[in-house]
Structure 1
Amino acid sequence: MKNKQLTRLTLCAAIAAVLVCSVANAQDTVPPQDTTPAPAKSAAQQKADSKNAKNLDQIVVTGNTATGGLKKIDTSYSVVTATAEQIKMANPKSAADLLKISPGLWPESTGGQTGANIEIAGFPGGGDAPFNTVQMMGSPLYGMPSLSFFEQTSMFRLDDTIDRVDILQGGPSVVFADGQIGATENYMLKTGTDVPTGSLGVTYGNENLRRTDLFLGFPLADSWFGSVGGFYRDSDGVRDPQFPADKGGQFTATVSHDSDNGTMTLYARYLNDRNQFITPIPLLQSGSDDFHAYPGFDPLKDTYYGKDIQHVHLAGYPGGGTDANLANGRGAKMSFFGGNFDYDLGDGWNISDKFLLDGGDMNTTALFSGTNPASLNDELYNVSTDQGGFALPAGSATASYVNGGGLVDPNQSVIHQGFWFIHKHLKNINNDFRLSKEIFDGNTLTAGVYLAHYTEDDRWALGNQMLMTNAPHAKPIQVSYVDGGQTYQLTDGQGLLDNGTFNITNRGSATNKAFYLSDTWRVGPWLFDLSGRVENQNASTDMCNFKSDGRVDADGKPVTGVIDTDGNPLTLYNNAVPVCDGTYTHTSYNKTHPSWTFGVNYELASNMSVYVRVNKGAHFPDFDNGIRGDAQGNTAPMQKVFNFEGGFKYQSQYLYADISAYHKQFNGLPFQPTDGAGKPIGNLSLYGSDSKGINLTGAVTPTENLRIQVVANYLDGHYSHNNSCLSFTNSVTGEDGCAFINGVQLQRQPKVRYMLTPSYRFPFAWGDIMAFVTYTHVGDHTQDQSGLQQLGKYDTWDFGIVADVQKNWELRVQGTNMTNELGLTESNSRIFGSASGTNGVILARPLEGREVNFQVKYKF
């Protein structure tokens, strides 16, 4: 049955390829992604230029060992390229959001500028971005793709210092750089030139965005060049938290040198930026996938964040407590220094070396969803404790606002959410050295060594559930109650129900060593490549152990791992606090694994090619997921993928198409249940997935100035390799459940997604105007492995107008979600199963509302 399905998918791709060939003629091509169409040419000129299919002639430097890179027509793998202008046309909210231009990649950008979940077709993720690597100038930004509360797009910002990007899925990436089995985006920086060039742009947005961008490239001396650039901005955000939602900037500089035999580039970057991490808000669900606004909450622009809950003191933070500020959000304070060196030694020998050294803080201060809201009266007396209620004696409680305002109305809707602070200090150094030799005409052998050493130093304070009004700009609530003549403090004076439930310190250190060989052989129109990699990861973590104060529970069993920090049983918020005792649990991890890939590309003509590729790779665990805290070293098995894909590329004057079909089998994924505070509970389970799909990027150019671009994918992916029932407790209903996941649709990955972008260029004597709209359809998707919580489907409209005035001026207006579509990317990620509670209330992350930006730029 599986073979029949794969055959049908491959046949569909083949039929599409035939149709492409039949409806277009192979004459001169206007690159469909180029924002300035080439002038009209005569038929003779078109025929003479028919070999210059410019989009397929674009050079791809990622995923291959060719000196200077490979033309896109020769790449036997799925890759999307974008220039600086094409990046801007996509109007990305962040580096993660840009990935939407690659079919099969699905970034969830509803959480803010950083901290996106990135889903890759056929790779079951569900949180952070474990199967995505960000490279700058060919070097990975960190030794592990992601950690808890960190993924690599969070330490990268888009600005005018970026020249272009290659976005690669699977294929040869399992062998090169950090051996990523999922997706890799490689950003290349602008460098200086012989003639000074630059730009200065000022942007204003309807969310009170104020931003300045600068780039300057210049000659330094003979064959030496320099560049500087960056941005600074602040913004209230579409979901205004009553303090700056996004504030900070980035500065980048390069020095480069060209010689007859090679090039050298050194670059440095400093990033200091903080961003609001957007918490799920309440919505109403009717049916399985129909969502509406919750009374008093605008789903397009409201947020719980506000000045009344902005500042707290977290007493349980390791080391004696700390002050936390929501305005710090999920930000980055990082420094980078790297270099690239490529040199032709002569006689067929070439060397290449890339290195990157970086370090800094990737902290998170944010609210994380707890259980669903309820009236204050129900929360205090009627909702059971396993559903987030307090089950206090009837009429015993006094609830008042923390910052004045008197008693809280018993009918007031309330919620408690975790005020989490995670300090994450990262360091990384990596180096990729390659030596190539042309063995004989058309055949080149490359040997490479990749080394990376990286560390993390963490302090976490999770839990810290704060009782607050269930309203925009929430207000904290403090509660006390009387029982048996004693007055108990349910919360502290800030409204915190606990002083943390997972307060840890954790240090991790790892070294990756990899050796790889790659052989490419060009035989006429054929290009063969065979590559293999052997990699060792030697990692360790030290996580603090917790104190115990000798107490026993009602059954006489010792209460371990928590203490009563003030010795007062009447202050309930600090009676069971995990506090590090100065000792550590050491976990070691040392594994070696091979990966390989084989590809064949056949150039049917100068403007079309077909390819097939097979690859097998593995994903090492990270410090926070798979290694930490197990003294016995009983870590989960490695996650492995086997991928088969085939594709077709074609370009003519009127049509461009890049179509690929794939079949991916994945196994070794761990499922670890957590409670509402994010603390691991229950047993670890393993599972896998089986996925088939088709990806398409293309464009139709019926006239010189009109172009219609498309990015589309279809995914038939489901969970596999686990016939057992995954046990869970639903914190909304309080019920225990068991979910069979075999055959369930992959979580948070739409079966169908496509973007259509028609654009038209209006030429004038003084310049030109280009106008475009983008229609995006996101198909049905689900929240988690159970498939019990549907997230529905949605459609959005974006637009842009770009005017080039004379030689130096550019005016740009762009907007997103112009129709204020209410679409969901995820619900409460700490709830397994259905997330809809009483009266259909659900916590979820919807799209942000309409956002329009205007920019004026001077270029020279």
Structure 2
Amino acid sequence: MNAWKKLDRRALATAIGAVLVAGALHAQDAPSQDPAPPPQTKPAAEQRQHPSSAEKTAQTLDQVVVTGNSAAGGIRKIDASYSITTATLQQIKELNPVSVADLLKVSPGIYPESSGGQTGANIEVAGFPSDSGAPFVTMQLNGSPLFPKWDYFTDAMVRLDDTIDRLEAVQGGTSVLYGNGQPGLIANFILREGSSTPTGDIGVTYGSEGMVRLDGFYGFPIGGKDSGWYGSIGGFWRKSDGVRDPEFAADKGGQLTATLSHDLDHGSVMFYARALKDKNQFVTDTPILNPGPGKFSKYPGFDPLTGTFGSNANRRQFFELAPCFTAGCSPAGHRIDMANGQGGDVHMLGGNLDLDFDSGWSLSDKLLFVAGNMDTTAFFSTGDNPTTLGNFIDDAADSFGLPAGMTATATYRDGRPADMNENVTVQNPEYIHKKIQSISNEFRLSKELFEGNRLTFGNYTAVYSEEHSEEAGLNMLLQARNNPDPIVVTLSDGTRRYAITDGQGLYWNSQPQSWMAFNEHWHATTTAFYLADEWNIGKWRLDGGVRVHHDKIDGWRQNTASGDLDANPDTVYNNNARYLIDSYRRPSSSRTAPSWTIGANYTINDNMSAYARVNRGVFLPSFDDVASLPDAPIEKINNMEVGFKYQAPWIFADVSAYRRLFHGVPYSINLPTGRVDLVYGSVTKGLNAAVTVKPFENFSVALSGNYMDGHYSDYADCVPYVAQDGSDQCTSINGMTLDRQPKVQYRLTPAYLIPTGWGSVKLWVTYEHVGNRYGDQIEQQPLGQYHDISIGAIANVGKHWVLTLRGSNITNEIGITEGNARLFGFASSGGVILARSIEGREYNFQAKYQF
């Protein structure tokens, strides 16, 4: 494995080095040209003559980007003193992402764990320590953060369809100034608008996983071509069984988006609305054979590529939630449907105003309303590896305080007897309700102080709320196989019958934990002011800015108690349940912190530039931090980077190197001896690269990847854990590799375009390599390395038809993205681990008509 790691690292470094050396040689021979003038705001009529997405490309340094800067009309990539990755609608389709999170790996250094389904992915930003979710990723729509404060649902608020014009992704750099001040990654999805010429498309897609999808878009002028008003409408609807078929629709729903734009004498105004209603299966950790460190294979009866705990047998459940205190009574509760999965039922309404006056003043305003529900109904892992049914019953009887030697009866829900020797697993079925509301506005006012210098004053204000309740305290006893049946267990001593589970296979732990049931409401205000300056001096472009960010969070969390829900000692499954009581605590937080950035870009010639940047960002406590860690520190992130960009007819290269320092990262570990709270830091250095080479006509090879060397720091205490030999150990996390982040990852895509008399055909293959990672902070859970191969073909037939065939993971590679996140330390037992793999092979075909 070490040899392969060295080889992959050297291969990536060699490829980057070869490209840069060749680029430098070509640059020496290139004729000198005058630098291209900075972009100017285009006349309204010219702005609306948009080419189709198929004609546009992001592989050019002349492309104008609007994310991460305050320049009127945006700036060219070659002038930006930070790393920015763009992808057009056509390029997004060619990437064939399995989810929105999966698309973000187009930005070098981003590693999405694309194994949990359409939503709910963990997204790692190289050098940013985070253990779950995506706290260092902000999803934006037309420049506005979809929700001001990070939460686990933020990636579920976005779906990809033909209403997206392009993605602009910025890592670090200037992102600390704008929007919600994200120090990690801003993923800005920019909508397509109407144009002076009516255009549109409609497409039908069929997938090998039982997917049927309809996409459409139509853009048009309103009141004639010269009115200056334009509209668009589009969206999608689809239904899919999923690569992991739960015996009901894994994904079902759609999205509708509309825009209204108007050209003004000195700018433009745009309004947009989006309605999302979509349900997606969320996939938790599954049993996988783990014969050796970093080695994985299929568990008997459960394919890690296609298996799921979802089934018709466990789809509909009733949760007991509140005690009734009378013998023989029925506790109050809630009925859930696992087919609801994790998804969104939200509405968005936004508006952008951009004005640029001849006097040197310019104004920009971005407004966004968001309201709806982001609910989750899914299984989550308990952290316990599978065991035989007989062993489970013995352990359960002991944990509930029942005597040994009683007669056990185990049946499936339909009454059939269960096999005491079959392997079983325990999973947490959870219902998580989140009702969200937010209104945010970002206002910028800029003035050209003198030739080449522009000063910008800005304010970002957001008022938002979240109602959050969880019914997460129950366990379900299931067969350890794909589409399992629940198992109902009773014990008898000849006189009394003790119900270990209810009639659905559900039971409460004998030792309740405080997280098993809770209800909380939050309301918050974020206010930030910033000042930024941009100064063009010859070939130099200097920029800098400072931001002051303030969060005010107030709310309440309902307290809990534990006890018997039905006053029946024989129903032991609910004798020690956790439930909500009429008592509350009211945590709050008021924090203020500054951010700043300084950068310089030098344009060597009109196709080559270099830049350097230093910035400090902050990450303020979230709702969960305020509730559970009232003294949670403000995380501080120092980032230093240098970059080089080069473009010629045969090559495009964007390479950057960075060093990132983290301080004040809070983390809690649940150990058998109790909870341990850590505060630590990290030190990371790395290299990001996006390179496309065109050695001859119609052929290209694209390389996108990164090298990351990150380690924990600033925590010298000894942390207890269970070692691989089962012994209790203690170690410091200092010097340990950042968990869940690969040191090396890259994607290599050769592509060939075949012109024909009736159109063209483009063929491509992508090889993806993800290096070894660890699932924990003390390197006891090696996740191994993996590779996968995807393929694609696009045929443009005449002026109107586009036929697309795409396939992902066609070699059915097992690729572990997540280990047993519930355990700290060694997680494999008897050669088995709970972990999550990428999805298995999938093909889809789309026929689209453009008009």
TM-score by length of 2: 0.91
Indicate whether 1:849 and 2:840 are aligned: yes
Name the CA distance, whole Å, in 2 between partners of 1:682 and 1:16: 50
Q: State whether residues 58 and 72 of structure 1, in contact with CA within 8 Å, keep that contact through their aligned partners in structure 2.
A: yes
Match of 2:387 in 1: 374
Counterpart code for 2:601? N
Match of 2:530 in 1: 516
Match of 1:623 in 2: 623
Counterpart code for 2:246? P
Of 686, 694, 698, which residue of structure 1 is paired with 2:691? 698
| C-alpha distance 828-308 of structure 1, shift in aligned 2 (>3 A) | same
Match of 2:414 in 1: 404
Q: Deviations over 1:199-219 (max 9, x none)?
A: 000000000100000100001
Indicate whether 1:636 and 2:641 are aligned: no
| C-alpha distance 397-544 of structure 1, shift in aligned 2 (>3 A) | farther
Of 191, 195, 201, which residue of structure 2 is paired with 1:199? 201
| C-alpha distance 395-338 of structure 1, shift in aligned 2 (>3 A) | same
SS of structure 1 residue aligned to 2:270? strand
Shift of 1:831: 1.4
Shift of 1:306: 0.4
Q: State whether residues 397 and 479 of structure 1, in contact with CA within 8 Å, keep that contact through their aligned partners in structure 2.
A: no
Counterpart code for 2:677? L
Q: State whether residues 155 and 332 of structure 1, in contact with CA within 8 Å, keep that contact through their aligned partners in structure 2.
A: yes
Match of 2:157 in 1: 155
Of 704, 709, 718, which residue of structure 1 is paired with 2:711? 718
Match of 1:470 in 2: 480
Of 777, 784, 794, which residue of structure 2 is paired with 1:802? 794
Q: Deviations over 1:789-836 (max 9, x none)?
A: 000001111010000000000000000001111110011211111110
Q: Identity rate of aligned residues, in percent?
A: 46
Q: State whether residues 729 and 735 of structure 1, in contact with CA within 8 Å, keep that contact through their aligned partners in structure 2.
A: yes
Shift of 1:405: 3.9
Of 505, 508, 532, which residue of structure 1 is paired with 2:546? 532
SS of structure 2 residue aligned to 1:578? strand
SS of structure 2 residue aligned to 1:89? helix
Indicate whether 1:741 and 2:743 are aligned: no
Q: State whether residues 518 and 529 of structure 1, in contact with CA within 8 Å, keep that contact through their aligned partners in structure 2.
A: yes
SS of structure 2 residue aligned to 1:844? strand
Counterpart code for 1:342? D
| C-alpha distance 373-432 of structure 1, shift in aligned 2 (>3 A) | same
Shift of 1:717: 0.6
Name the CA distance, whole Å, in 2 between partners of 1:26 and 1:105: 34
Shift of 1:572: 1.7
Once the two structures are overlaid, the 10-residue window that deviates more, 114-123 or 89-98, is 89-98
Name the CA distance, whole Å, in 1 between partners of 2:518 and 2:725: 30
Q: State whether residues 813 and 854 of structure 1, in contact with CA within 8 Å, keep that contact through their aligned partners in structure 2.
A: yes
Of 87, 97, 102, which residue of structure 2 is paired with 1:97? 102
Name the CA distance, whole Å, in 2 between partners of 1:284 and 1:384: 28
Counterpart code for 1:809? W
Q: Deviations over 1:681-739 (max 9, x none)?
A: 51311111110000000110011200111101000011111111223568x99865434
| C-alpha distance 857-317 of structure 1, shift in aligned 2 (>3 A) | farther
Name the CA distance, whole Å, in 2 between partners of 1:646 and 1:811: 41
Match of 2:257 in 1: 252
Shift of 1:569: 2.3
Q: State whether residues 53 and 165 of structure 2, in contact with CA within 8 Å, keep that contact through their aligned partners in structure 1.
A: no
After TM superposition, the structure 1 = structure 2 runs for residues 381-420 of structure 1, keeping only pairs within 5 Å, are 381=394, 393-420=403-430
Once the two structures are overlaid, the 10-residue window that deviates more, 408-417 or 222-231, is 408-417
| C-alpha distance 733-590 of structure 1, shift in aligned 2 (>3 A) | farther
SS of structure 1 residue aligned to 2:587? strand
Counterpart code for 1:775? Y
Name the CA distance, whole Å, in 2 between partners of 1:234 and 1:283: 29
Counterpart code for 1:430? S
| C-alpha distance 53-170 of structure 1, shift in aligned 2 (>3 A) | closer
Indicate whether 1:262 and 2:267 are aligned: yes
| C-alpha distance 27-234 of structure 1, shift in aligned 2 (>3 A) | farther
| C-alpha distance 377-21 of structure 1, shift in aligned 2 (>3 A) | same
| C-alpha distance 27-207 of structure 1, shift in aligned 2 (>3 A) | farther
Name the CA distance, whole Å, in 1 between partners of 2:523 and 2:440: 14
Name the CA distance, whole Å, in 2 between partners of 1:162 and 1:743: 42
| C-alpha distance 75-605 of structure 1, shift in aligned 2 (>3 A) | same
Name the CA distance, whole Å, in 2 between partners of 1:317 and 1:212: 44
SS of structure 2 residue aligned to 1:321? strand
Matched residue count: 806
Shift of 1:305: 1.0
Match of 1:554 in 2: none
Q: State whether residues 316 and 338 of structure 2, in contact with CA within 8 Å, keep that contact through their aligned partners in structure 1.
A: yes
Name the CA distance, whole Å, in 1 between partners of 2:808 and 2:351: 36
Of 720, 741, 750, which residue of structure 2 is paired with 1:727? 720
Shift of 1:397: 4.2
Counterpart code for 2:213? R
Match of 2:824 in 1: 832
Q: Deviations over 1:250-292 (max 9, x none)?
A: 0000000012201000000000001000122111112211111
Counterpart code for 1:514? A
Name the CA distance, whole Å, in 2 between partners of 1:542 and 1:115: 25
SS of structure 1 residue aligned to 2:156? helix
Of 808, 815, 820, which residue of structure 1 is paired with 2:812? 820
Match of 1:308 in 2: 313
TM-score by length of 1: 0.90
Shift of 1:93: 1.0
Counterpart code for 1:725? C
Indicate whether 1:443 and 2:462 are aligned: no
After TM superposition, the structure 1 = structure 2 runs for residues 24-63 of structure 1, keeping only pairs within 5 Å, are 26=30, 55-63=60-68
Name the CA distance, whole Å, in 2 between partners of 1:488 and 1:729: 34
After TM superposition, the structure 1 = structure 2 runs for residues 172-191 of structure 1, keeping only pairs within 5 Å, are 172-191=174-193
After TM superposition, the structure 1 = structure 2 runs for residues 253-652 of structure 1, keeping only pairs within 5 Å, are 253-316=258-321, 320-370=332-382, 371-381=384-394, 393-482=403-492, 485-498=495-508, 501=513, 502-546=516-560, 561-624=561-624, 626-629=625-628, 634-652=630-648
Q: Deviations over 1:473-503 (max 9, x none)?
A: 1111111223595432211111112188511
Q: State whether residues 56 and 73 of structure 1, in contact with CA within 8 Å, keep that contact through their aligned partners in structure 2.
A: yes
Match of 2:125 in 1: 120
| C-alpha distance 515-856 of structure 1, shift in aligned 2 (>3 A) | same
| C-alpha distance 397-506 of structure 1, shift in aligned 2 (>3 A) | farther
Shift of 1:10: 13
Match of 2:47 in 1: none
Q: State whether residues 300 and 481 of structure 2, in contact with CA within 8 Å, keep that contact through their aligned partners in structure 1.
A: no
Q: Deviations over 1:105-131 (max 9, x none)?
A: 000110000000000000011201000
SS of structure 1 residue aligned to 2:697? coil
Match of 2:771 in 1: 779
Match of 1:558 in 2: none
Shift of 1:669: 1.2
| C-alpha distance 100-259 of structure 1, shift in aligned 2 (>3 A) | same
Counterpart code for 2:282? F
Once the two structures are overlaid, the 10-residue window that deviates more, 418-427 or 481-490, is 481-490
Name the CA distance, whole Å, in 2 between partners of 1:86 and 1:504: 43
| C-alpha distance 729-509 of structure 1, shift in aligned 2 (>3 A) | farther
Cα root mean square deviation, aligned: 2.5
Of 844, 855, 858, which residue of structure 1 is paired with 2:849? 858
SS of structure 2 residue aligned to 1:109? coil
Shift of 1:296: 1.7
Q: Deviations over 1:377-432 (max 9, x none)?
A: 112226897xxx77864442423224224322110111111111101111111000
SS of structure 1 residue aligned to 2:626? coil
Q: State whether residues 700 and 750 of structure 2, in contact with CA within 8 Å, keep that contact through their aligned partners in structure 1.
A: yes
SS of structure 2 residue aligned to 1:381? helix
Q: State whether residues 63 and 173 of structure 1, in contact with CA within 8 Å, keep that contact through their aligned partners in structure 2.
A: yes
Name the CA distance, whole Å, in 1 between partners of 2:564 and 2:105: 49
Name the CA distance, whole Å, in 1 between partners of 2:380 and 2:290: 21
